[in-house]
Amino acid sequence: MLQCYCDYGHDTIVNYGTNCFKHVLGIDRINMIFMDVKNSINYSRFAPMQKASETLVMGRGTNADKCILLYTLVKNEGFDCSIYKVNVIDNSNTFISRTGKSVPWFYVGVDFFGMKIDFDPSFDRSFMWAAGITNKGMNKGYDLTGYKFNGGQNLFTLIGKPEQVTDDKVFKALDRNFNLALA
pLDDT (mean) for 21-31 = 87
**Is pLDDT at 168 greater than 90 in this prediction?**
no
Please calculate the CA angle 44-1-124 and round it to the nearest 5 degrees: 20
Which residue range(s) make up the domain with 36?
11-182
**Is pLDDT at 152 greater than 80 in this prediction?**
yes
What CATH number does residue 53 fall under? 3.30.2140.20
Asked if the structure places residue 68 within a domain, the reply is yes
Q: How many CB atoms lie within 10 A of CB 98?
A: 12
Asked if the structure places residue 144 within a domain, the reply is yes
Asked if the structure places residue 35 within a domain, the reply is yes
Q: How far is CA 106 from CA 71, 87, 144, in A?
A: 11, 9, 9
- pLDDT value at residue 126: 92
Q: What does the longest C-alpha to C-alpha distance in the chain come to?
A: 45
Asked if the structure places residue 2 within a domain, the reply is no
DSSP the chain: --TTT--TT-HHHHHHHHHHSTT--HHHHHHHHHHHHHHHSEE-TTPPP--HHHHHHHTEE-HHHHHHHHHHHHHHTT-EEEEEEEEEEETTSSSS-SSS--EEEEEEEEEETTEEEEE---S-HHHHHHHT-EETTTTS---GGGEEETTTEESEEEEEEEEEE-STHHHHHHHHHHHHHH-
Asked if the structure places residue 5 within a domain, the reply is no
- pLDDT value at residue 46: 83
Asked if the structure places residue 112 within a domain, the reply is yes
3-24 tens-digit pLDDT: 788 898 899 998 887 777 778 8
How many domains would you assign to the chain?
Answer: 1
Asked if the structure places residue 6 within a domain, the reply is no
Asked if the structure places residue 174 within a domain, the reply is yes
